[in-house]
Structure 1
Amino acid sequence: MRVIVTDDWEHAALSATEWGDLGSDVSVEAIGEHLDAARLADRLAGADVVVAMRERTRWDAALISRLPDLRLLITTGAANAAIDLAACAAHGITVCGTRSHPGSAAELTWALILAAARRLDRVFPAMAEGWPSSVGTALHGRTLGLLGLGRVGGTVARVGAAFGMEVVAWTPTLNAARAAEYGARAVRRDEVVESAHFLSLHLPLTATTARTVGAADFARMRADAWLVNSSRAGIVDTGALRAALEAGSIAGAALDVFDEEPLGRDSFLRGRSDVILTPHLGYVTDSAFRVWFADVVEDIRAWRGGEPIRVLE
């Protein structure tokens, strides 16, 4: 049986777990680069099992139809919006997920916030050549605004409260008692946007939330506010963000997620002094990889035994 891991940009998949537990009749390989659909289909020819690294590749009906040997598609994580589940079902492909390690995305969110507050993106490289100095933004007493207060947003909120920040949050169903559990206040969405010094996004990407952070929000934001997005790029109207940055109506944006990944070399986001970029590292930690790929091995063994687990439908 042939197993292929796609989009292993960190070259970490093969060392993250004991693949040998699958047996001597199983070969495992990893693709360490991002391939377009045509090249990827060629590389996956003959693969019985494919492991998708989060949403780095779009597994649409066109690609699925070019993989006649594929029988099991596993995504790292419990869900993957880039997989066409209906197309997989139509081709008799079982789709499974994995558990995730808690904390990774929230930790990266705070790395972005701290980088923006102290402009560490400038300080680190400048320190190699001299003794840079800048006046940072204190977090204590500032306002952290959260659109989304689920598992990740809740962790971000607690850290903000520990820093002495005023934490305000909104979700469609959030109430005062639940917000208080995370050290936050539940307020109107507009109030979150208008008051935040750091506006951090933690909403799922759905038909309802797509492109909902747009021109009206950027117009309401403080001139010294930063937009922080480690959730999903599709939540933000990218054109409106560009207009806000070019107009100088917000202080900047700290982003880990993008409409196009890897980010194009000619993206307007590159080279701006008011933008901090990381290459979708929110989930990229040693602990997350160990959990994911241990579960991948478990998923394959269960599927081979005729009783697949963590099936996505």
Structure 2
Amino acid sequence: MTVQIAVIDDWQNVARDVVDWSALSDVGEVHFLHEYPADNATFVGRLREFEVICVMRERTRFDEDLLRQLPKLKLLVTGGMRNAALDLQAAAALGIQVSGTDSYKHAAPELTWALIMAATRNLVAEANALCAGEWQQGLGGDLHGKTLAILGLGSIGQRVAQFGQVFGMRVIAWSENLTAERAAAAGVTYVSKQELFEQADVLSVHLVLSERSRGLVDAQALAWMKPAALLVNTARGPIVDEAALIKALQKKQLAGAALDVFEQEPLPAQHPFRTLENVLATPHVGYVSRQNYQQFYSQMIEDIQAWAAGAPVRLLG
């Protein structure tokens, strides 16, 4: 019997073309679904016939209620090796295997640095003004000699730190698990949490979202920052207290924010981040690069082939 395979969450309609899905012709039939349902009932109607579902990161939530209504589902495959939107415990209890993929490690830090550069030099406003027939709207900022503060010195944070060092910035870091020795090994100065926020000219968030990190960048932390500082978040929206950040930006308590992630995604139509002049916002594109998608989807194909052969790989949970 032919296995029915669904590829969902393909908001840009690119999944079909970035890799060769014909590699699965011996396993089953691949369907590309582009609708984004708002509720489980609608989702069940679209997915109840599929035995394999490929999801992109954390775009769609597969909670216990949804999983219980998909009795044919045997394998969930996600881009990346971590997906907080999947209830792994419920999946295991229902006999649904979950596999992940590796990721292209440079996409997120490159986007982070693009945001830092664009926000610092006011590039969007300048480019838009030029297209409108105008010329030179203001003075851009500078990075050389300034302090780059890294909140979370993992693999992405370390790469962003390297970029800062190349640009002649002083780089400092803090997280609850970071030690002075680990920071020094990366050529970074370890500081306290308060010092991180107080000394930052640019503060970039690179923590994993957890109960410990949720809301870590709160009103107190924002109050520690310089009025001329820039906050950058390409990690996860809930790490920053969104209401506190909006208030700080409205009151010009800090110069601006460059954000790729939000508390609710997609970002609601009337959200203040869409209209605040001191916000540069992008639609969670930190991992949305051709090479990353090629890696995600090619390894999804490998996961499905391995599962079909009875030897699943890259299992989560």
Is TM-score (shorter-chain normalized) higher than 0.5? yes
Counterpart of 1:98 in structure 2 is: 101
- Counting only pairs closer than 5 Å after superposition, residues 267-306 of structure 1 correspond to structure 2 as 267-306=271-310
Q: Indicate which of 188, 191, 196 corresponds to 1:192.
A: 196
> Which of 11, 14, 17 is the aligned partner of 2:16?
14
1:258 is matched with: 262
In percent, how many aligned pairs have the same letter?
Answer: 43
For residues 174-226 of structure 1, the C-alpha deviation after alignment (integer angstroms, 9 at most, x for no partner) is: 23332233332111111111111111000110111111110001110000111
| 1:82 maps to 2:94 | no
The correspondence of residues 145-164 of structure 1 with structure 2, limited to 5 A, is 145-164=149-168
Q: What do the CA deviations read for 1:218-261 (whole angstroms, capped 9, x no partner)?
A: 11000011110000011011111111112211111111001111
Corresponding residue for residue 129 of structure 1: 132
- In structure 2, what is the Cα distance between the partners aligned to 1:286 and 1:52? 17
Tell me the secondary structure at the aligned position of residue 291 of structure 2.
helix
SS in 2 for 1:276: strand
Supply the distance in 2 between the matched residues of 1:181 and 1:28 (Cα, whole angstroms). Answer: 47
Distance 1:93 1:165 in 2: 48
Contact 2:27 2:308 in 1 (8 A): no
Give 2:4's aligned residue: 2
Cα distance in 2 for partners of 1:60, 1:175 equals 36
Query: Per-residue CA shift, 1:92-124, capped at 9, x if unaligned?
Result: 110000010111100110111011101112112
The change in CA–CA distance for 1:17 and 1:192 in structure 2 (over 3 A counts) is: same
For the 8 Å contact 1:61–1:84, the answer to whether it is kept is yes
Do the aligned partners of 1:227 and 1:253 also contact (CA within 8 Å) in 2? yes
| Counterparts of 2:191 and 2:27, CA distance in 1 | 57
Any conservation in 2 of the 1:46–1:69 contact (CA below 8 Å)? yes
Which sections of structure 1, spanning at least 5 residues, go unmatched? none
Residue 51, structure 1, aligned to residue 72, structure 2: no
Shift in Å, 1:163: 0.1
1:308 and 2:312 aligned: yes
Counterpart CA distance in 1 for 2:218 and 2:179 is 25
What amino acid sits opposite 1:115 in the alignment?
Answer: A
**Matching of residue 213 in structure 1 with residue 201 in structure 2:** no
For residue 252 of structure 2, the aligned residue among 248, 253, 274 is 248
TM-score normalised according to structure 1 size: 0.97
Deviation at 1:39, TM superposition (A): 2.0
CA distance in 2, matches of 1:208, 1:76: 24
Give the Cα separation in 2 of the matches to 1:294 and 1:223: 45
Q: Which letter maps to 1:38? A: A
Deviates more, 1:82-91 or 1:152-161: 82-91
**SS of 2:31 mapped into structure 1:** strand
- 1:30 maps to which residue? 32
Report if the CA contact (8 A) 1:155-1:182 is conserved.
no
Which residue number corresponds to residue 187 of structure 2? 183
Q: Deviations over 1:134-190 (max 9, x none)?
A: 211110011111100000000000000100011100122323332233332111111
Q: For the residues of structure 1 that align with 2:305 and 2:165, how far apart are their CA atoms?
A: 44
- CA offset digits 1:59-84 (Å, max 9, x no partner): 11111122111110011001101110
Amino acid at match of 2:55: A
Is the CA contact (8 Å cut-off) linking 2:250 and 2:276 kept in structure 1? no
Aligned-partner Cα distance in 2 for 1:152–1:198: 16
Counterpart of 2:232 in structure 1: which amino acid? Answer: V
**Kept in 2: contact 1:161–1:184 (CA 8 A):** no
Does the Cα contact within 8 Å between 1:227 and 1:252 map onto a contact in 2? yes
**What is the total number of aligned residue pairs between the two structures?**
313
Q: TM-score, normalised by structure 2?
A: 0.96
**SS of alignment partner, residue 269 of structure 1:** helix
Write the distance in 2 (CA, Å) between the matches of 1:192 and 1:99.
31
> In structure 1, how many angstroms separate the alpha carbons of the residues matched to 2:134 and 2:247?
34
Name the SS for the 2:6 alignment partner: strand
Give unmatched runs, 5+ long, in structure 2: none
Question: 2:180 and 2:129 mapped to 1: Cα distance?
Answer: 44
* One-letter code aligned to 2:119: A
Measure the CA separation in 2 of the matches of 1:242 and 1:305.
Answer: 51
